[in-house]
Amino acid sequence: EAIQAGTAVLVGDKPGGLAAMLDAAYGGAPWFEKAKQVRNPFGDGKAAQRISRLILTIVESKKGATCEAAR
């Protein structure tokens, strides 16, 4: 997904591949500049928070109780 979105690059399994990619990135490689503009393909990082709130809402509505430790 990240490669398709343009936010990651395959560098291979040779140590020199990673070094070359990092040198290119620090040198302003076109793919790196483009990657900085791409929307994060993995969302906004708040999925766990949303899921836990939903679970808490469901549990509280079923039992009529609150779960202060989960807040």
CA angle 30, 43, 7 (to 5 degrees): 15
Every domain of the chain and the residues it spans? 1-39, 44-71
Cβ-Cβ contacts under 8 Å for 29 (sequence gap 6 or more): none
Alpha-carbon distance 2 to 4, whole Å?
Answer: 5
pLDDT at 65 over 70: no
pTM exceeds 0.95, yes or no: no
Give 36-59 pLDDT, tens digit per residue. Answer: 788 877 888 899 999 999 999 888
- Joined together, the tokens standing for residue 30 give 């076109």
Q: Are 1 and 42 in contact (CB under 8 A)?
A: yes
Alpha-carbon distance 1 to 33, whole Å?
Answer: 18
